[in-house]
Each structure stands twice: as C-alpha cells, then as structure tokens.
C-alpha cells in the first residue's frame, strides 16, 4: 500500500462522481468546492500539488503555475485549451492532457443546427406557439454544399453525417497529412471556398491565428442564402461582424452553440434575431459524452503520474495537433 508520504497530491477542481473519486484514492486529494477554482482560488490549493483536474471554466495561467513548483500534470476535462497557458506549461515542463472523446456529440449538434436552419424549424415552432399553423418553406439538405473549416475528428464526424444527408462536402485546413475521405473534397484557401458554400461550419480551436477568423470580410464572401454554424469557440467569430452580416442580409442566418461572451446580454441583437439559433454551449452535453470525458480526464492524470504517458498529451510534446473546435487534441 502506498504510504501517506508518497501519495501524489492532486487537486480536483471540477465535479466528479463518486466512482471516479474512488479511482483517485491512491492520491492525496484536495477537492475544491464548485465555483472556488473559477474565482481564482486555484493557486493556493496547488502549492504542493503534483496534479490537478480542471474543466474549461477554470483558468490555469502562468501565475497559477508559478505557485505550484511541484506540478507535473494538468488534466483538463475539455478538448479546448484556451483556458491554460501552454507556453508557461512548456517552460515549466508541465504535461497537459485533454479529452477528445466528444466528436459524435458535437457532430450531432452541428447537424441538428444545420437542419433547423435549413427547415426553419424555430420559425415553424414559433408559428404554433402563436396560435397559427403557417408553414414557412425551408430548403433541402441534399445537394447543398457544406464547407467545414477544420477537418479534425469533429469535422470528419460532421462530414460523415452530411454525406448521409446527400450534401456535398468540402473542407479547408492548414495541416498536411489529413485522411482522404471518399466524397469529401479539400478546398484551397478559406476566401476561395466561402463563395460556393451553402453552410459554413467551424471546427477549429481558438488561438492567435483563429481568433476572429470569420469577420466582416469573410461574411461578404458568403452567399446571401448561406448559413454559418459555430460549435467550436465563440472567439473564432467576430460577433459584431456576424451581427452586421445577419442584420444586413449578407448571410441568411446562423446556428451558434458558442458566443464571444457567454451568456449573452438579453438585448443582444443576435438573441432576438429570428434567423439566428443560439443554444447554451451544449456541444458535449450528453450523459454518455460527459461521462466519457470525466473518465478520460481521470485516466490521463493517473497515467502521467505513473509515468505511463497518455495518448492525449497536448503539451509539452504536442503529439496531438490543434484541430477541432477550439478544441486541440481533436479542438471541441
């Protein structure tokens, strides 16, 4: 049995079910109350910790790492890493792991938003709620062109669903070595691919290069009948530019799981716009996926502490490249 003095100290800064906590009993655990870590209370708790489990709501910046000289691993229950200072982790040799096990859930939501936009389902529901029975004409998905911006795990999962709906699928991506998928064509630059797309779906992580990737210039390149779908990160889209594009009819509408500021203000024009669907960041919000993410986060932590390595190490080795949805290792 491991002695108390040799048990690795681990901080749990997210809610875990009892069976998962039991798997961590070989560690000397500090369990933080919900909300405390989000309020910048993490640094003090990590003073002598070797590992920490966090969610995407918890910021782990350079100052936090500086207060944790023994920290070896940050295991985040997310794909996105924009809440962690990766440069600071590399400088200190701290291993970062993530949980890229949510591809199906995010892809399902992406296709749901595409379908709702195409068939104008919110407007039809609103008609019934208002006591009417009018049926607004929507459009077919078959033969429409879907442009995937990012072709990692999630982008590929969306492509499979779109092909089943008989859509034409293309993608843009800056990386080499991506798999060839029958029926999916690789386009060149984003600017050249946007004018042909009926739907543009974002599946990139949020970083300095992708922040505000979709801005006013990009929206002017899209068809006035085209829709934007974002299940990646809110910061990938210039929200002011999107508001302008929808309001001015530059594009037909948008389906958004993420926003620059969450939750939005009640008077945000996008919230009130009938051509925009907004859901509250639910890309991974299924019981099965959240359970899988939590298990993956625990497994990652223990593997690194045991010097066994993990298939989901993102830093410092970066065996997984940023890809999906704001969500490296997949990127969401």
The residue written with tokens 């500021």 in the block is 261
Q: Tell me, yes or no, if 233 is annotated catalytic.
A: yes
- Residue 227, helix vs strand vs coil: strand
Q: What's the token pair of residue 261? A: 């500021």
d(CA 184, CA 180): 8
Q: Specify whether the CB–CB gap between 203 and 159 falls below 8 A.
A: no
d(CA 191, CA 211): 16
Q: What's the token pair of residue 280? A: 């509250």
DSSP count for the chain of H helices, then E strands: 12, 13
Q: What's the token pair of residue 331? A: 């990127």
Q: Tell me, yes or no, if 38 is annotated catalytic.
A: no
Q: Tell me, yes or no, if 119 is annotated catalytic.
A: no
d(CA 91, CA 103): 30
Q: Of the residues 175, 262, 306, 319, which is catalytic?
A: 262
Chain centre distance of CA 251: 23
Residue 181 gets which letter from DSSP?
-
Q: What's the token pair of residue 324? A: 């999906």
Kindly report the number of other CB atoms within 10 A of residue 9's CB atom. Answer: 19
Q: What's the token pair of residue 243? A: 């508001």
Q: Of the residues 72, 161, 233, 275, which is catalytic?
A: 233
Helix axes 103-119, 121-129, angle to 10 degrees: 60
> Which positions are annotated as active-site residues?
233, 262, 281
């Amino acid at each position: 049995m491991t002695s108390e003095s040799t048990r690795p100290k681990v901080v749990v800064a997210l809610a875990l079910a009892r069976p998962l906590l039991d798997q961590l009993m070989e560690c000397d655990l500090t369990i933080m109350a919900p909300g405390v870590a989000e309020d910048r209370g993490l640094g003090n708790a990590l003073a002598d910790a070797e590992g920490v489990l966090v969610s995407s709501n918890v910021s782990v910046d350079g100052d936090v790492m500086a207060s944790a000289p023994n920290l070896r691993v940050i295991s985040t229950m997310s794909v996105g890493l924009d809440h962690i200072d990766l440069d600071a982790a590399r400088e200190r040799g701290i291993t970062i792991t993530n949980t890229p096990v949510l591809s199906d859930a995010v892809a399902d939501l992406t296709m749901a938003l595409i379908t709702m936009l195409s068939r104008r389902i919110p407007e039809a529901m609103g008609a019934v709620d208002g006591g009417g029975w009018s049926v607004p004409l929507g459009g077919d998905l078959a033969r429409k062109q879907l442009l995937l911006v990012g072709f990692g795990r999630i982008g590929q999962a969306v492509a499979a669903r779109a092909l089943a709906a008989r859509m034409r699928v293309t993608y843009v991506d800056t990386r080499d070595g991506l798999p060839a998928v029958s029926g999916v064509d690789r386009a060149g630059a984003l600017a050249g691919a946007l004018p042909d797309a009926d739907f543009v779906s974002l599946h990139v992580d949020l970083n300095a290069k992708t922040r505000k990737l979709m801005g006013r210039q990009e929206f002017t390149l899209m068809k006035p009948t085209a829709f934007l779908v974002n299940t990646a990160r809110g910061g990938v889209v210039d929200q002011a530019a999107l508001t302008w594009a929808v309001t001015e009819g530059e594009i037909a509408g948008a389906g958004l799981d993420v926003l620059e500021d969450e939750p939005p203000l009640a008077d945000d024009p996008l919230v009130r716009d009938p051509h925009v669907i907004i859901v509250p960041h639910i890309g991974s919000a299924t019981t099965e996926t959240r359970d899988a993410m939590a298990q993956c986060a625990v497994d990652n932590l223990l593997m690194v502490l045991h010097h066994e390595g993990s298939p989901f190490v993102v830093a410092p080795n970066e065996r997984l490249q940023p890809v999906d949805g704001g969500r490296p290792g997949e990127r969401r």
